[in-house]
């Protein structure tokens, strides 16, 4: 799930991704070359010993720790940016002075200071640490697996003899093999350690990304966040609809929203989120029945260029629709007023015991005005 990012966190993610790719490639190639040399003559036993020897394991472990710790810090920075306004309101600080320890404080809470623990943020911090630790294992395994394959390719030991072209070919092969191995191993690791289900924060962050792009958020999406954060509500949906909210059809989700509308103002809440009156990140507190303290309309809506364009087009569409409605209403009122006046005139003449016009004269006049049906 992508997060609502500011420039510094975007640069951090780019540096993180580039550094990760470079580190993995360098470790794979360095270890593969050394492995091929150590496993002389390509003997399977010697190659196996070299792949899982001190050098290979040490390089792979070091790379996995550095890569995943950097990724963890990048995610924490994005978390800090996303909730800085809410945390600042809770702690009475400037949003620009919020640090990681402030996020930790909000997550844990402080009874002495009257700060309640935030389960959504606490869950995300715990999940980030778990993902980092599992990531270290996955990275080490993918590097070692790639090394074993690359080192076993014929002629890799020729690098020592100056085979630069062959080395370049092995670099490309190593990178491709690593990418092929990484995703399946990563998915398996997430499933084993139960990290394949989005957290409540992940869902909020996804809504932030959609809002930033100018997309309209539905009531059903907002309800999804509430269900994710509340086990009782989740169980209620399962008991009454036979399955988890995520697996319900769009129609059934709509039914759930309608049923819960009497207990929570989901419609007005969704409207405020879409209009930018309330930040999407406020949901991290709303799902627990709390408010962060950030006043409505006090934080600038951080829309992307695409989001601003979409909002502008939506605004034009809304104004045109309103103008058309007003025009239709005015026209309709004009017709109603005209018809009312004619009907009143007709009633006066029919009620007059000595009408000034004959029936034929009245009929012809009314027919020409388009209301001949009123006298039948």
177-206: pLDDT as tens digits: 777 888 898 899 899 998 999 999 999 999
Range of the domain at 240: 200-286
* DSSP structure string for 282-347: GHHHHTTT---SPPTT-S-----HHHHHHHHHHHHHHHHHHHHHHHHHHHHHHHHHHHHHHHHHHH
Q: So what's the pLDDT on residue 5? A: 44
Whole-prediction pTM: 0.70
Domain match, 158 and 102 both: yes
State the chain's mean pLDDT as an integer.
Answer: 76
Q: Is 122 exposed, middle or buried (0-12, 13-18, 19+ CB in 10 A)?
A: middle
Domain match, 11 and 156 both: yes
- Each residue's pLDDT tens digit, 18-39: 556 555 655 655 555 555 555 4
Q: How far apart are CA 149 and CA 164, in angstroms?
A: 19
Domain-embedded: residue 115:
yes
For residue 153, is it left (φ>0), alpha (ψ between -120 and 50) or beta? Answer: beta
Domain match, 69 and 99 both: yes
Query: Is the CB of residue 294 less than 8 Å from the CB of residue 85?
Result: yes
Q: How far apart are CA 41 and CA 154, in angstroms?
A: 10
Averaged pLDDT for residues 51-67:
71
Domain match, 333 and 354 both: yes
Domain-embedded: residue 16:
yes
Which has more pLDDT, 336 or 198? 198
- Each residue's pLDDT tens digit, 132-168: 999 999 888 887 787 777 667 665 545 444 555 666 6
Indicate whether 3 pLDDT > 70. no
Indicate whether 71 pLDDT > 60. yes
Q: 192, 220, 250: which is the final residue of a domain? A: 192
Domain match, 57 and 92 both: yes
Non-local (6+) Cβ contacts of 342 within 8 A are 366, 369, 371, 374
Domain match, 63 and 212 both: no
Q: How many domains does the chain have?
A: 3
Block residue for tokens 């002495």: 112
Averaged pLDDT for residues 233-247:
94
Indicate whether 273 pLDDT > 80. yes
pLDDT band at 263 (very low <50, low <70, confident <90, very high): confident
Q: How far apart are CA 47 and CA 32, in angstroms?
A: 10
Domain match, 173 and 59 both: yes
Domain-embedded: residue 332:
yes
Classify 115 as helix, strand or coil.
Answer: strand
Q: How far is CA 328 from the centre of its chain?
A: 40
């Amino acid at each position: 799930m992508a997060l609502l990012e500011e420039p510094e966190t975007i640069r951090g993610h780019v540096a993180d991704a580039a550094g990760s790719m470079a580190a993995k490639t360098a470790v794979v190639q360095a270890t593969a070359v050394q492995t091929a040399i150590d496993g002389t003559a390509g003997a399977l036993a010697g190659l196996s010993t070299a792949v899982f020897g001190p050098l290979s394991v040490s390089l792979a472990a070091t790379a996995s720790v550095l890569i995943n710790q950097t990724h963890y810090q990048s995610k924490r920075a994005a978390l800090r940016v996303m909730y800085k306004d809410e945390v600042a309101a809770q702690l009475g600080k400037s949003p620009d002075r919020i640090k990681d320890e402030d996020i930790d404080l909000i997550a844990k809470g402080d009874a002495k200071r009257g700060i309640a623990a935030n389960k959504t943020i606490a869950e995300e911090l715990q999940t980030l640490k778990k993902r980092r630790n599992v990531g270290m294992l996955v990275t080490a395994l993918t590097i070692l697996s790639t090394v074993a394959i690359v080192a076993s390719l014929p002629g890799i030991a020729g690098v020592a003899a100056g085979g630069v072209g062959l080395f370049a070919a092995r670099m490309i092969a190593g990178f491709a093999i690593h990418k092929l191995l990484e995703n399946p191993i990563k998915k398996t690791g997430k499933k084993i350690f139960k990290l394949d289900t989005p957290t409540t924060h992940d869902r909020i962050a996804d809504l932030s990304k959609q809002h930033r792009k100018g997309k309209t958020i539905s009531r059903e999406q907002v309800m999804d966040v509430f269900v994710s954060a509340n086990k009782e509500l989740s169980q209620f949906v399962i008991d009454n609809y036979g399955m988890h909210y995520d697996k319900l059809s769009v129609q059934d989700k709509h039914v759930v929203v309608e049923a819960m509308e009497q207990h929570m103002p989901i419609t007005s809440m969704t409207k405020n989120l879409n209009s930018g009156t309330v930040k999407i990140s406020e949901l991290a507190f709303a799902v627990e029945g709390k408010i962060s303290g950030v006043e409505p309309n006090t934080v600038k809506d951080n829309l992307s260029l695409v989001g601003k364009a979409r909002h502008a087009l939506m605004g034009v569409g809304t104004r045109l629709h309103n103008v058309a409605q007003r025009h239709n209403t005015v026209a309709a009122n004009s017709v109603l007023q005209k018809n009312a006046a004619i009907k009143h005139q007709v009633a006066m003449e029919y009620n007059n015991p000595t009408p000034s016009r004959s029936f034929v004269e009245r009929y012809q006049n009314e027919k020409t005005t388009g209301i001949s049906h009123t006298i039948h």
